[in-house]
Amino acid sequence: MKKFIVYGLVALLIPTLSFAKSKQAPSEKTGAPGQKSCVQCHKDNDVNSGKGKIVINAPQTFEAGKTYPITIELVDPQQMRWGFQLTTLGAGTLSISDSTHTQLAEGKNDGFQYVGHTKTGTFAGQKEMASWTFNWTAPAETKEVTFYAAGNAANNNEKKTGDFIYISKFISKLAESE
């Protein structure tokens, strides 16, 4: 009877653990200087070779210490699953405003913050585009910040085949005081 109880408990826990697991990519895959991108694993197509794009919607100018919402849009008319990762390479602080679709991670080699999708945030089956919003607090001592992002517009086949990887960067500058 004890064996049945133990096996039954394990059988109950394994599905729970697998559903809770994130599908976020390993950190440090944004295409930033010194980094690779998602194309290291999703090898079928060259970076930015599909019919889509990734767009970083961030402020053109920022005030030191102010918090801004940042939105990532990933578009590809032929794809049906989505993922992204963004970093500022330590310039400012990233924070989550939607924990259902986004999460934070720390780089294993560089210690920088990365924000990316959760499993729910892959929007499986959603056609043409996906978007994610999170917060960024501007640094006090920096005059220019570069946001680096990589996106995976996937075909929803649960494999690393048939996907298109897009990378982009966006530069935001410190607002000049009057």
* 59-84 per-position pLDDT tens digit: 999 999 999 999 999 999 999 999 99
> Who's near 53: CB < 8 A, 6+ residues apart?
74, 75, 76, 166, 168
* Longest CA–CA separation in the chain, Å: 77
CATH placement of domain 23-174: 2.60.40.830
% helix, strand, coil for the chain, step of 5? 15, 40, 45
CA distance 106 to 114: 6
40 by DSSP, 3-state: which? helix
Considering 35-39, 79-83, 104-108, 160-164, the range whose residues carry the highest mean pLDDT is 79-83
pTM above 0.85, yes or no: no
Nearest in space to 76 (alpha carbons), one of 46, 60, 100, 52: 52
